[in-house]
Amino acid sequence: MKAIIQGAESELEKHDGVWLPKDGSPCEIAKLRDNKLFMVLNGKTYTAVLLELNRLEKELVIMLNGQKAHVKLKEPLDDLLHAMGLDNLTTQKVANIKAPMPGLVLEISASVGDTVSKGDKVLVLEAMKMENIIKSSGDGIVARILVDKGQTVDKNDILIEFQ
């Protein structure tokens, strides 16, 4: 296992259920509770607090001795997938957004050239006197917006195309 902390890569190995530096650095886990980890590494005491965790992307943000640190974990399988060019298969890219129902376009939140991520609001569609926020189902760059504010659309009309 590798940990990339603020751009610096370290090899890790598992000892008694805890991942430690593979270089043989003396390390001792002092206490583990809630989201806090206390440890002694090479004679120095560290306090790490888990702030954010993204299991899918294997990324976390920790507060290490009062400093925020971004950590990316890489397993041997991740390196193999990268070498084979298969590491981006989990990123869902969107080709276009279609109207889920007939309605009236009330608001367009995206512009041509915008980069959108999964879950970003791209427009508001009114249907049956209800406002429906239409969100991006994946990541992409807006290539064309095929509707205007105030325009009526039918179900499955393409509203936005992505590159």
pLDDT at 14: 76
Work out whether the CA dihedral 151, 153, 158, 159 comes out positive or negative.
positive
Q: Is the pLDDT of residue 94 over 90?
A: no
Averaged pLDDT for residues 67-77:
84
Among 49, 112, 59, smallest CA distance to 122 is for 112
pLDDT at 111: 93
State the pLDDT confidence band at 91, using cuts at 50, 70 and 90: low
Q: Is the pLDDT of residue 154 over 60?
A: yes
Residues in contact with 48: Cβ distance below 8 Å, sequence separation at least 6, in sequence order: 36, 37, 39, 62, 63, 64
Q: Is the pLDDT of residue 89 over 70?
A: no
If you write DSSP's letter for every residue of 97-155 in order, what string do you get?
Answer: EE-SSSEEEEEE---TT-EE-TT-EEEEEEETTEEEEEE-SSBEEEEEE---TT-EE-T
Give the residue extent of every domain in the chain: 2-83, 96-162
Mean pLDDT for the chain? 82
Q: What is the CATH number that goes with domain 96-162?
A: 2.40.50.100
Averaged pLDDT for residues 93-108:
90
State the pLDDT confidence band at 81, using cuts at 50, 70 and 90: confident
State the pLDDT confidence band at 32, using cuts at 50, 70 and 90: low
| Angle formed at CA 95 by CA 55 and CA 134, multiple of 5 degrees | 75
